[in-house]
Chain A
Amino acid sequence: MTPPPEDRQTATAELVRRGIPGGAAHLALVRRELRAWAATVGLSVQDIDGLLLASYEALANAAEHAYSGDGPRLVDLVATQHSGGYVQVVVQDYGSWRPEPADPGFRGRGLVMIRNLAHDAEIRKEAEGTTVVMRWRLTPDR
């Protein structure tokens, strides 16, 4: 439950949910927790909406990986407010990345949404799983 050292230095508020079961009901519960948290960190209303939607897409994407292959696995979400003036949400799964289908469909649209809703998004697909890092700048003048 302890964040890595580089996060500990700058994170001023965080929501950590590790080992989320990938089922739809659990994802809805995490979204509610994230909504309550996001309202406290100083994001604009539009960015709160974007953060909730992008984070849900990342969770859904991770849950799909977690359900593929050899049985259910778990998903981690770590949301942090950094003193550098941004909010970061990291969603990580430990499943395998499936080949892209011909029609982008559900998952393709989810990734497009993540890239467009976050101010900055990075999607790392590795052998041991997928990590989605999304950031939103805090703009106090808004």
Chain B
Amino acid sequence: MGELDGRRDFNPLLDARDPRAGDERITIALQRHGDAVVVVVDGEVDLATGARMNEVLAAAVAAAPATLVVDLERVSFFTSVGLTALALGQRAAVEADIAFRVVATGRAILRPLQITGMAAGIAIYPTLAQALAGDRGDPPNSACPPQDG
């Protein structure tokens, strides 16, 4: 499946973005690690850059790997646009039988995930190696109670 479900989640401003403050604030790489695909996000995920994250996650799901890892270690600013991109990516991955994992330890990414309750529904790993191995270890979100949201 190449098209993500849930188009209603997209903010209309993502299509009205101004090129001046967009792509230079974010770098997204798509890497192959064996039967896994790793999406490495570096920079700020907001209204100007969120569409890129959506696009790359959709491409990663379309590649049909066994595991999709989203590495957010180098994200410095993560807004609800990023949370929604992540939720859409996870939904598409689950529907395609792809294991969906996130690498995150920094407050910039963990705080938005935790206060919205999303951390409880996502497999979060402290390192890329652990995410690739599926080794949860001591997940940083273990103390976060599940919430609806």
A85 proximal to B (CB < 8 A): no
Chain A residues with Cβ under 8 A from B9's Cβ? Answer: 103, 105-106
Contacts A24-B46, A25-B21, A56-B79 given; does A112 touch B115 at CB 8 Å: yes
Cβ-defined partner of B77 (8 Å) among A23, A50, A53, A106: A53
Secondary structure type dominating chain A contacts:
helix
Looking at the complex, which of A60-68, A86-94, A128-136 is the stretch in contact with chain B?
A60-68
Chain A residues with Cβ under 8 A from B143's Cβ? Answer: none
Secondary structure type dominating chain B contacts:
helix
Q: Smallest distance from the beta carbon of A87 to chain B beta carbons, Å? A: 18
Chain A residues with Cβ under 8 A from B115's Cβ? Answer: 112-113, 116-117
Contacts A64-B11, A109-B83, A116-B115 given; does A27 touch B77 at CB 8 Å: no
Bitwise, A105-125 to B at CB < 8 A (1) or not (0) is 111111011001100000000
Cβ-defined partner of A25 (8 Å) among B10, B18, B77, B149: B18
CB-based contact B77/A60 at 8 Å: no
CB-based contact A105/B17 at 8 Å: no
Of A52, A101, A116, most buried by chain B (CB within 10 Å of CB) is A116
Chain B residues with Cβ under 8 A from A23's Cβ? Answer: 13, 16-18
Q: Considering the complex, which residues of chain A in the window 26-71 have a beta carbon less than 8 Å from any beta carbon of chain B?
A: 26-29, 31, 46, 49-50, 52-53, 56-57, 60, 63-64, 67-68
